[in-house]
Structure 1
Amino acid sequence: MRRALCPVETLYVGQRSRAVLSCEVRGALDAALLARAFDEVITEHPTLRSRIVPDGDGHAFELLGPQDRPALRVRSDVDTAHGDELNDPLPVGGPLVRATLASDPVGRRHLLVISVDHAVIDGHSAIALQNAVWDRYRALADGAPLAAPAERGWPAPISGLLPPADDTAVAEHLRRRLAEVQRDPVELLAYDGPRSGGRIEVRRLLLDADRTAALREFARSAGVSVHGLMGAALLSVARSRLGGDDPRVLGCLSPVDLRSRISPPVPPSEMVAAVATHLHALPVAANPDPLVLAGETTAHLRAAIARGEHFHDMRITPEVPKHPALQMATVIATNMGEVPGPRLPAGLDLVDVRLVPGREHYFPQAGRSPLMACVVSFDGRLAVELPHHTACFSAEFMRSFRDDLRSALLSLPTPRGLLT
């Protein structure tokens, strides 16, 4: 059985991007039962039991045979498992999902890492997948009566569910967007790495529940979004790396979730990529006012969504390979918002949960690129994951960037000093 990839999904074949989810727990865990839970969850989703194959002039999802079906892998080195999985690709033609359980020798500390190709998921469905595996494991561990997993049909590509649009309007949107990126090309951050060797690493900024709640309260009181505050902080830190006193044109690329914006809505449990992208290029001063910058970032994105530009942005996505500037930004700021972490059975305690984007291809020879920041709040704690390849951005560069980002957020001029 096959299902052709739509033009938007086809872009991920070349990009080789993926989501890497991890969940650390402590307590008694039954690896065989977790393997069964994972198997039952992927049974329900044909895209998670597929591979990508050539199909005419394009590509298609093709169901894997029983011998190639993904199964839970088990290893013992908990401390290195996340980094190893982050650097282990999901090549074209192989399974689109991989699950690995690492447990310490005494069996009390465990890390489940799930890697999924972005051709079949976005951030919201990746989180839903991780939670579904733990939900199934909890039900099995509790002895709850469960129906056999029901196989679903192929999910429709989101690009085929968009509201109707006039071809002339789409062409005009593309013309306008191309004129914007040609008029205001954004600056990128220069690499400081050795340009060879290296591996994917990630620097992390984690706020506790109190500071996360304070940040949200401050955003509401200031009339901006948390995403706007985060985008402003990222742009400010990036601007500080460019030097000089004059404003510099920087860009912030924001994914826009389409699941709730189409009719009928598509739930996160549907394993399909459902995001468009919004690029905002603007002059950023050497020492910008954080609230003014956050206000500009918030207003620009909200206005674009109100005009329905996110639908047109998805429709013109197939033009990106010919016009890379359409998605060329100084910083890429994803934001999943506040989402629930996994619910575990009695006897297991949740230690940490993470979502880190990764990809297979980095190009240190390019000399510069956007910087990625994945923002998500699991169970009320905001985390910013900053993945990078050390042949491009060094560990020292990213550590400094992370520390300055933290300072930018915690030094926001709140009326009551909420974040300090």
Structure 2
Amino acid sequence: MLRDEDDVVRVLAPSEERFVRHGTYTGRSVSVVGDLDIDALSAAFAALQQAYPVATCRIVEDAAGQGYLLRPGVQSPVGVWANFGDPDTVRLPAEPIDPALQLVYLDVVRTDTARSRITLFAHHSIADAGHCVELLARLWDHYTDYVEYGTTTVVPHEYPQALEWFAAARGISRSTPSGFEDVARPLTPQERSVPADPATPAPSALVRPRRAVLDRAATTRIVGLGRHQGITVNGLVTAALLRAYASEKDGAAGDPVPLGCLYPVDMRSRLTPPAPAAAGTNMAGLASFAADIDVSAGIIELAQRISSRLHHDLAAGITQQSVLHFPDFFGPARVHSLAGHIAVTNTGVVPTFRVPANLELSDYEIVYLSAHPRPSAGASAAVTFLVYTFAGRLTVGLLGGGPSADRLLSAVRKELTALSEEALDG
């Protein structure tokens, strides 16, 4: 590994390092209607890079695969990539995204009409959903400042810390249960070896999840149902997603289908004191739930069990310390597998971004990019559901599913529609 010791910010923690092998970037892509000022956007992105120096940092690996966060190199930061194209398509940028050069990129697709697409890519090792959305919000703040006032204010931030750092700073220690027992199994010695890299590196890959989007009325009814029943929206939607997946399994019309679910829980607001959005990198502990899903039974009882389990694990401190078990499940020292679980990532309500009066953000999507995909050294989910609410509309994205993906997404729509109608009957 080529690096200058003086450039090293720190070694990546296990919660961060699990995204190094694939060069995983988490992306937020927005459709824009109106007159986009590309010069103002370029200046705004430069301001963002100054405010958050981690954006222009680098990640390198040593021979053992250990990841290091390095300060920016001698080269100038990569600015906005702007080209003409189809704004309905989330594209793989024409220029290479390289973690060894920069950790946050901005790609812009322009047209001759008043439509554009803007995609912010942030390396997942240094930005989870909360941090990535914070970066996107600050980008639009800077842009709006430039359009309205011709200048902006840059407030430099410290390098963000890992969840393990926050756990240590708040006296959180590892306990016996990981919280993943319901969905984990021991690995055999043969399974623990890290797969060899391919002789020819795989090209970068972009994944744009298929989506099911509810209208505002249905979304409002689901939120109201949760309040009426005393159940979180996360519990209701997770129950609907497990039922949708179970309904597509062979034999679902007969015996209950055993499923295990694993989902991240943002620890920022659950720490004392809380952590600001951009102060942490990957701030999610993990929680699990397993059940025999009977698609002929009602959804409310299942949702209550999911919410109750999470409440218990948070009250007992299990979820808070789950990150300290990550080495057992991810990376070269792993001894357990979570393969085959259903992953549900609920990033909550997307904030209203500040934009000039002549601009509208008409859509919002979560995408992923692997800069250098390699065989996995961790858990593989059967499918991953991405849940968020933008402009009052509940959205579920689907990662994986193979040839059954379209059918599974139809089942998701059916379950969510039934959930919203349950609110009318309640």
TM tier relative to shorter chain = 0.7 to 0.9
Q: 2:163 touches 2:323 (CA, 8 Å); kept in 1?
A: no
CA distance in 2, matches of 1:325, 1:386: 25
The whole-number CA distance in structure 2 between the counterparts of 1:323 and 1:247 is: 31
Is 2:180–2:287's contact at 8 Å kept on the other side of the alignment?
no
2:349 to 338, 347, 355: 338
Cα displacement (A) at 1:337: 1.5
Report deviation, 1:363: 6.6
Q: 1:94 to 1:286 in 2, by over 3 A?
A: same
Equivalent position of 2:160 in the other structure: 155
One-letter amino acid matched to 1:405: V
Q: Which residue of the other structure, out of 283, 293, 306, is the alignment partner of 1:284?
A: 293
Residue 383 (str. 1) matches residue 406 (str. 2)? no
1:414 and 2:422 are equivalent in the alignment: yes
| Runs of 5+ unmatched residues, structure 2 | 1-6, 187-201
The question of whether the paired residues in 2 share the 8 Å contact of 1:372 and 1:387 is answered with yes
Structure 1 residue runs without a partner (length 5+): 184-195
Secondary structure class of the residue paired with 2:36: coil
Shift of 1:269: 3.1
Shift of 1:91: 4.2
Return the offset for 1:72. Answer: 0.5
Q: 1:121: how far off?
A: 0.7
Q: In 1, Cα distance between the equivalents of 2:130 and 2:298? A: 32
Deviation at 1:347, TM superposition (A): 1.3
Q: Which residue of 1 aligns with 2:198?
A: none
Q: Does the aligned pair in 2 maintain the 1:178–1:326 contact within 8 Å?
A: no
- The aligned runs of 1:354-373 (5 Å cut-off) are 354-357=365-368, 359=370, 361=373, 369-373=381-385
TM-score normalized by structure 2? 0.83
Alignment partner, residue 188 of structure 1: none
Contact 1:251–1:281 at 8 Å: present in 2 too?
yes
Superposition RMSD on alpha carbons, in Å? 3.0
Is contact 1:47-1:271 (8 Å) kept?
no
Aligned to 1:306: 315
Question: Is the aligned partner of 1:3 residue 2:9?
Answer: yes
In the other structure, the counterpart of 2:176 is 172
Structure 1 residues 33, 181: CA separation in 2 closer, same or farther (over 3 Å shift)? same
How far apart, in 2, do the equivalents of 1:89 and 1:243 lie? 42
Change (3 A) 1:269 1:172: closer
Structure 1 residues 352 and 415, CA, compared in 2 at 3 Å: closer, same or farther?
closer
- Residues 284 and 65 from structure 1, CA distance in 2 versus in 1: closer, same or farther, beyond 3 angstroms? same
1:349-391, Cα deviation, whole Å (9 max, x unpaired) = 2211222345464879x9x842111111123221111134xxx
Match of 2:21, SS state, is helix
Structure 1 residues 68, 387: closer, same or farther in 2, change over 3 A? Answer: farther
The residue number in structure 2 matching 1:251 is 260
Match of 2:90 in 1: 82
Q: For 2:151 and 2:19, how far apart are their aligned partners in 1?
A: 39
Residues 1:221 and 1:362: Cα distance change in structure 2 (over 3 Å): farther
Of 38, 49, 59, which residue of structure 2 is paired with 1:42?
Answer: 49
Aligned CA distance change for structure 1 residues 88 and 225 (closer, same or farther; 3 Å): farther
Query: Structure 1 125/201 Cα, relative in aligned 2: closer, same or farther at 3 Å?
Result: closer
Tell me which of 29, 36, 39 is aligned to 1:29.
36
- Residue in 2 that maps onto 1:51: 58
Structure 1: distance between partners of 2:149 and 2:182: 60
Query: Is the aligned partner of 1:63 residue 2:76?
Result: no
Q: Which AA in structure 1 matches 2:145?
A: A
Q: Distance in 2 between matches of 1:372 and 1:345?
A: 35
CA distance in 1, matches of 2:366, 2:183: 32
Paired with 1:238 and 1:215, the residues of 2 have a C-alpha distance of 19
The number of residue pairs the alignment matches comes to 392
Task: Please say if residues 356 and 387 of structure 1, whose CA atoms lie closer than 8 Å, have aligned partners that are also in contact.
Answer: no
CA deviations on 1:225-252 (whole Å, 9 max, x unpaired) are 1111111111111112221222232111
Match for residue 190 of structure 1? none
| Matched position secondary structure for 1:156 | coil
The 3 A distance-change label for structure 1 pair 352 and 180 is closer
Runs of 4+ in structure 1 off by over 6 angstroms are 196-199
CA 201–133 in structure 1, closer or farther in 2 if over 3 Å, else same: closer
Q: CA 1:377 to 1:327, structure 2 compared with 1: closer, same or farther past 3 Å?
A: same
More helix by share: 1
Question: Residues of 2 paired with 1:335 and 1:177: CA distance?
Answer: 18
Residue 116, structure 1, aligned to residue 128, structure 2: no
Partner of 2:283: 274
1:235–1:49 CA distance, 2 compared to 1 (3 A):
same
Report the counterpart of residue 18 of structure 1 in structure 2.
25
**Residues 81 and 66 (structure 1), Cα distance of their counterparts in 2 relative to 1, 3 Å cut:** farther
Question: What letter corresponds to residue 237 of structure 1 in structure 2?
Answer: A
CA gap 1:124/1:177 in 2 versus in 1, 3 angstroms = closer
State whether residues 177 and 326 of structure 1, in contact with CA within 8 Å, keep that contact through their aligned partners in structure 2.
no
Deviation at 1:31, TM superposition (A): 0.4
Question: Which amino acid is 1:181 matched to?
Answer: A
Counterpart contact for 1:157–1:272, Cα < 8 Å: yes
1:10-64: CA deviation from partner (whole Å, max 9, x where unpaired):
2221253331101111111110110110110121112211110236963221122
Supply the distance in 1 between the matched residues of 2:35 and 2:182 (Cα, whole angstroms): 58
Contact residue 240 and residue 415 of structure 2 kept, 8 A: yes
Q: CA deviation at 1:222?
A: 1.9
What is the rounded CA distance, in whole Å, between the counterparts of 1:330 and 1:6 in structure 2?
24
Cα distance, 1:286 vs structure 2: 4.7
Measured in 1, the distance between the counterparts of 2:8 and 2:96 equals 23
TM-score when scaled to structure 1?
Answer: 0.84
Q: 1:269 to 1:7 in 2, by over 3 A?
A: closer
